[in-house]
Structure 1
Amino acid sequence: MVSAFSLAVSTGYAADDAQQVLRAGAAASNITPPLGEAVVGGFAPFPATNVHDELHARCLVLDDGTTRIGFVICDSLGISRDVFDQAREYIDAETDFPAENILMSATHTHSATRSSSENYSGFLARRIADAVRRAIANMEPARIGWGGVDEPSEVFNRRWYVTDPDLRKNPFGGADQVRMNPPRGSATLVRPAGPIDPEISFISVQSADGRPLALLANYSLHYVGGVNKGEISADYFGIFSKRIGELLEADDESFPPFVGMLSNGTSGDINNINFRNPSKRMEKYAKMRQVAELVARRVHEACGQVEYHDWVPLGSASRDLTLRVRKPDEAMLKYFEEVMAKPEDAPKHHRYERNYAQRVRRLYEGPDEISIPLQAVRIGDLGIAAIPFEVFCEIGLEIKEKSPFGDAFTIELANDSRGYLPTPRQHELGGYETWMGTNRVQHDASDRITETILELMGELSSKRPSAVTSRDE
């Protein structure tokens, strides 16, 4: 990881590519759900009673003359594959754009409603497809650049080694080695159980004459929060999307309007809380505004160093991977039968043991295997991974290190939503993100997913024109 700023610089593509023209378009569709839908993100959903700020599906499409790719970033906790697939069906039926080349993801705002509800899922799929159709209609000759800048002040690993055994209890009658979200400033804290990724990656797109068209950023921060109960909000992802346009001086009166976008990176074990030295609690929405402002300003500063290209090769490669579903053994089933047989007000080993009794039962009665969509996208010498889980940070760092491209990042909760993805090492430590029912797939799933993503990136990079990448240390 570079200390401050990284920039992809190309020495130029093949001579016959000089005549190629890159085209780009962007648009945003409102996906705010109706009031009364269940706000999810915790163990006890509650109805939405107000809208603090509207939710959107923000889309960017690119065309190099041969290949077309796209991104749709949705303000949602997580979106299941069937909703995304319905949107793809609309796109296939209504456009000639290859829907399989569109990376669709959720930001993971915790103040959105359940995407799979009967009252909302159809509307959501329709509006995702509409965003793509509108972005296609807005396509024009463009130029593109990308880079990254480190901002470690807003990302903290939330899994900690702690000395207090009561803090390490789990819903399965035992104890873990680490605790998610331990008490802030507690004397029981020892050290974080994993790394952070401080990089804010971004892709900047301009018209041929330099007018800002779109910017897609990526930061490995779970979400910020700090909202009023019952209020719908896009969290800091939405604030960033508006603020980056202001900083880039995008003309509010221009058409098509500038579209800012912020995707979630590998934040399965990362949040915004400095557990060792906690700050004072802030008024509702104040912290997310603070974080969005900082992230937007850092990206804006870095944009000034980007080299833009009139044309770059594009690519997308996808593959379904079959994974085994975790299943309880007889001892675990028996333990949870005893848990559920007790009165609800009986003393508990763990406050969520009844919740996990139900989750484990669903896994036991469900399928033995699932198929997950994996995707890699190429923009010049930039590789982007798409993984349908809340991905642990060290997985994203490994993909960056081993990617065949000069620059790379990962978008999580992409093309589906399948819970947490710890590494085998983190599974050994235990903790909330590794519990059966929070994590649903085999312990080595992250290894298999990383291997597949790197294979897909390898397929795309094998067609790469001659280029080099340099980084400012």
Structure 2
Amino acid sequence: MPPEHHTPAAAAFPPSTGQLRVGAVKADITPRDLTGLHPMPGAFSAVHDPLFLRVLYLGNGDTEAVLVSLDLIEAGDVSPLRKRVESELGIPADHVVVTATHTHNAPRIAEVSPGALAHAGGPESFAYTETVYDRIVAALREARATARPARFGAGTGTADVNVNRELYTDGRWTLGHNPAGPSDKTVWVLKFEDLDGRPIALLVNYAVHCTVVFGTSEISGDLAGAACRHIEDVLGDDHGGQPVALWTPGPMGDQAPRVDLGVPFGQVPDERRKARAYAAMAAQGLMVAAEALRVAGGIDAHDASPSISAEQRTVACPVKPGRDLVETMRQAAADTVPLRLSLVRVGEVALAGVSGEVVTEVYRRLRAESPLARTVLVSIANDRIGYLPDDARFDRPVHSVNGCPVPRGHVEDAIVDGVLDMIRGHFGGPA
């Protein structure tokens, strides 16, 4: 299926290899008024731990690219934000990638794309969106202004914190814990440090739903927030300064945390059960964080002039209706739904963004077919249109298929072929 939009990398963004400059900023986005901000049935009652945005600025004199990670359940179509960044800061909109940690104890922002399956927000959500946009632009401006000469490296580890959540039991498919199901346990780590070896930022990528404390009705960064706080505390204590840890979600469309609150939807837990959930959140966040720090310690961040380039494209996919969904989920009528793909190249690493919750098998195919060993998938990048399963999964009425807005035969190939085409355009290799 041809892309709706395609900016040729070689023509518009030739790889450039000047001195790398990196800036990273963290800013609080905890809402003061929680009214109307819960993306699912119910309401937020309190703040357990604060929410943050974290931005990473990369530049080398010729090319600039930025990545934004938000402690939110999701960001919808952020095209207005990306255009604003281009207008106000001069960074091309196609060089801006925005994702969310997917904590279910936080609001959503931005509009729902026509045809997409998401929990649309009301007036309070759109007002909060503008607040978050303002803080993102301010943080990017600061990150660029404070960027300093840097070097870069990447590595991988593993963490057994996630488990497949599509379970067949009692004659039906449901959400649960399925240890026999596919699960990618890779912890990707991108390390950025200054020329004196002081950490600037650590980008972590892992595949898990941040739903450990879902059901408490309290604002929380959940597992990802706990992991980032631990990394930032350790790096700050050990090296001084204020290093930033950015969490990006990998192929988490079919992945649950191993330990969660376990409360049926809509049931309010007692305080002791809630306390155990927060203990599980901290423990699992620590496990991913500790592995990320171990990997970072072994990374030789020697590349001070990596090639940087970026590209985005949109594939117009046919629409199918969702089924067996949460009552607050709506799907606006449309003939097509936009599948947004993005690529940020940093040296020999490709950060491949996809605008939905990608499942394990799609990433396994992408990684197997990619000419680049370091191909990192970022789910819910620049939009969240729904779940994005592999073709074989459509044989079963699992949650990721019911919540997918695209029919069989138009998801897996569109993602894999589209991302591979971009990677080959930026890194070379057969088209």
Q: C-alpha distance in 1, partners of 2:17/2:335?
A: 52
1:274: Cα distance to partner? 7.1
The one of 155, 169, 182 equivalent to 2:162 is: 155
Q: 1:213 to 1:327 in 2, by over 3 A?
A: closer
Q: C-alpha distance in 2, partners of 1:37/1:263?
A: 27
Task: Tell me whether 236-245 or 112-121 shows the greater mean CA deviation.
Answer: 112-121
Q: C-alpha distance in 2, partners of 1:202/1:405?
A: 16
The one of 209, 232, 235 equivalent to 1:248 is: 235
Q: 1:136 to 1:18 in 2, by over 3 A?
A: closer
Q: Does 1:232 align with 2:219?
A: yes
Q: C-alpha distance in 1, partners of 2:239/2:201?
A: 13
Counterpart contact for 2:201–2:244, Cα < 8 Å: yes
1:428: Cα distance to partner? 0.8
Q: Deviations over 1:228-270 (max 9, x none)?
A: 733111112122212112333456863xx21111111111001
The one of 406, 413, 427 equivalent to 1:461 is: 427
Q: 1:454 to 1:219 in 2, by over 3 A?
A: same
1:101: Cα distance to partner? 0.5
Q: C-alpha distance in 1, partners of 2:16/2:87?
A: 34
5+ long unaligned stretches in structure 2: 1-14, 111-124, 261-271
**Which residue in 2 is equivalent to 1:136?**
144
1:392: Cα distance to partner? 0.4
Counterpart contact for 2:351–2:377, Cα < 8 Å: yes
**Which residue in 2 is equivalent to 1:5?**
none
Q: C-alpha distance in 1, partners of 2:257/2:244?
A: 25
Q: 1:18 to 1:160 in 2, by over 3 A?
A: closer
1:67: Cα distance to partner? 1.7
Q: 1:114 to 1:22 in 2, by over 3 A?
A: closer
Counterpart contact for 1:215–1:259, Cα < 8 Å: yes
Q: C-alpha distance in 2, partners of 1:318/1:63?
A: 18
Q: Deviations over 1:346-390 (max 9, x none)?
A: xxxxxx68x57x86xx64x60111223211111111111100101
- 3-state DSSP of counterpart to 2:405: coil
Letter in 2 for 1:391: V
Q: Number of aligned residue pairs: give it.
A: 388
Letter in 2 for 1:298: E
**Which residue in 2 is equivalent to 1:24?**
22
Counterpart contact for 1:143–1:206, Cα < 8 Å: yes
Counterpart contact for 1:202–1:217, Cα < 8 Å: yes
**Which residue in 1 is equivalent to 2:63?**
67
Letter in 1 for 2:26: A
Counterpart contact for 2:189–2:295, Cα < 8 Å: no
Q: C-alpha distance in 1, partners of 2:363/2:212?
A: 23
Q: Percent identity?
A: 27
The one of 406, 420, 424 equivalent to 2:387 is: 420
Q: Deviations over 1:388-427 (max 9, x none)?
A: 1011011112222222223111110100011111111111
**Which residue in 2 is equivalent to 1:443?**
408
Counterpart contact for 2:236–2:243, Cα < 8 Å: no
1:326: Cα distance to partner? 0.6
Q: Does 1:377 align with 2:370?
A: no
1:100: Cα distance to partner? 1.9
TM-score (norm 1): 0.76
The one of 181, 191, 204 equivalent to 2:176 is: 181
Q: Does 1:387 align with 2:354?
A: yes
Counterpart contact for 1:87–1:126, Cα < 8 Å: no
**Which residue in 1 is equivalent to 2:121?**
none
Q: 1:20 to 1:252 in 2, by over 3 A?
A: closer
Q: C-alpha distance in 1, partners of 2:17/2:89?
A: 26
5+ long unaligned stretches in structure 1: 1-16, 169-177, 183-188, 333-351, 464-473
Counterpart contact for 2:151–2:195, Cα < 8 Å: yes
- 3-state DSSP of counterpart to 1:247: helix
Q: C-alpha distance in 1, partners of 2:425/2:388?
A: 24
- 3-state DSSP of counterpart to 1:304: helix
**Which residue in 2 is equivalent to 1:466?**
none
**Which residue in 2 is equivalent to 1:398?**
365
Letter in 2 for 1:440: P
RMSD over aligned CA atoms reads 2.7
Letter in 2 for 1:395: V
Letter in 2 for 1:179: T
Q: 1:18 to 1:59 in 2, by over 3 A?
A: closer
Q: 1:51 to 1:452 in 2, by over 3 A?
A: same
1:87: Cα distance to partner? 2.0
Q: C-alpha distance in 1, partners of 2:321/2:70?
A: 32
Q: C-alpha distance in 2, partners of 1:462/1:53?
A: 45
**Which residue in 1 is equivalent to 2:289?**
296
Letter in 1 for 2:425: E
The one of 62, 73, 76 equivalent to 1:77 is: 73
1:41: Cα distance to partner? 5.7
- 3-state DSSP of counterpart to 1:460: helix
**Which residue in 2 is equivalent to 1:127?**
135
Letter in 2 for 1:238: G
Letter in 2 for 1:270: Q
**Which residue in 2 is equivalent to 1:112?**
106
What pairs up with 1:194-233 in 2 under 5 angstroms? 194-226=181-213, 229-233=216-220
Q: C-alpha distance in 2, partners of 1:240/1:224?
A: 14
What pairs up with 1:299-448 in 2 under 5 angstroms? 299-308=292-301, 309-327=303-321, 363=331, 366-435=333-402, 438-444=403-409, 445-448=411-414
